[in-house]
A = this chain, B = another copy of it.
Amino acid sequence: MKKSQIEAAWKGNAQCDRCGIRDLVLFADLAESDFNLIHLPIDEIECDPGSTLYSEGDDGTAVYTIRSGLVKLVQYLPDGSQRIVRLLRPGATAGLETTVGESYQHTAIVLQRALACRIPKQVIDRLSRETPRLHSQLMRRWHAALTQADDWLTELSTGKAPQRLARFLLQTMEADGTAMLFTREDLGAMLGITTEHASRTVAEFKRNKTITEIGPNRFRCDRDQLECIAAAEC
């Protein structure tokens, strides 16, 4: 329930036309000429862990592209408890709801030092009106967000805690077979269990050698065993 102010450092206007990860981002399909339609500054902001990009209910004035780092989207319940509904990785878009005229529906909190581009709503509006090349990317973003939401509902909010944790690890494991586990509080808020229970479940996995700590908050995962647990077969 901590509240951090945004500590974004302004780093000067972004130069979208020579963006290093341009093929990953919202503007991937734009032609050179389309960039002339952008008449408002797109700021690149740098955010420390704990800072918020925007808060639920705020007037939606911009969409954000995550260039690096990790951001969580949180929703709060009437009773004060929170739920993490999505994780945003590099290339992802945050605050899409502003493009349909809504205020932000989540609070976006930085988990790992992040670089993000702040794209004013008007820029999206104008590009939408005047070039067709943004649409397909916008659709793709909506679709990606919805797919993650649905998957979290079926995989991370169904079944017992060990199954949920196993599925979570399978989802977030990198190619080298290792994964991060964030804080136990965040882990609990993603799996819909308490902090303590998240801790216990992780401990159990460590005891069974399903995961092995190989660095600060970095784990080597036994994929076979995870798949077995995820399917409730062992």
Residues of A within 8 A of B (CB): 75, 77-79, 81, 83, 85-86, 96-97, 99-100, 102, 105-106, 128-129, 132, 135-136, 138-140, 142-143, 145-147, 149-150, 152-155, 157-159, 163, 192, 230-233
Contact = CB atoms under 8 A, between A and B. Distances in A.
Determine which residue in A128, A146, A147 has the highest number of CB atoms from chain B within 10 A of its CB, and name it: A146
A159 B81 CA distance: 9
The complex is assembled from copies of this chain, and their number is: 2
Given A146-B145, A230-B78, A83 B129 contact: no
Contacts of A77: 154-155, 158-159, 231
Given A142-B142, A149-B149, A150-B149, A158 B83 contact: yes
- The A contact surface, by secondary structure, is helix
B192 A75 contact: no
A143 B139 CA distance: 10
A231 B83 contact: no
B149 A99 contact: no
Contacts of A86: 150
A126 B152 CA distance: 33
Contacts of A145: 146
Given A157-B192, A231-B78, A143 B83 contact: no
A37 B89 CA distance: 39
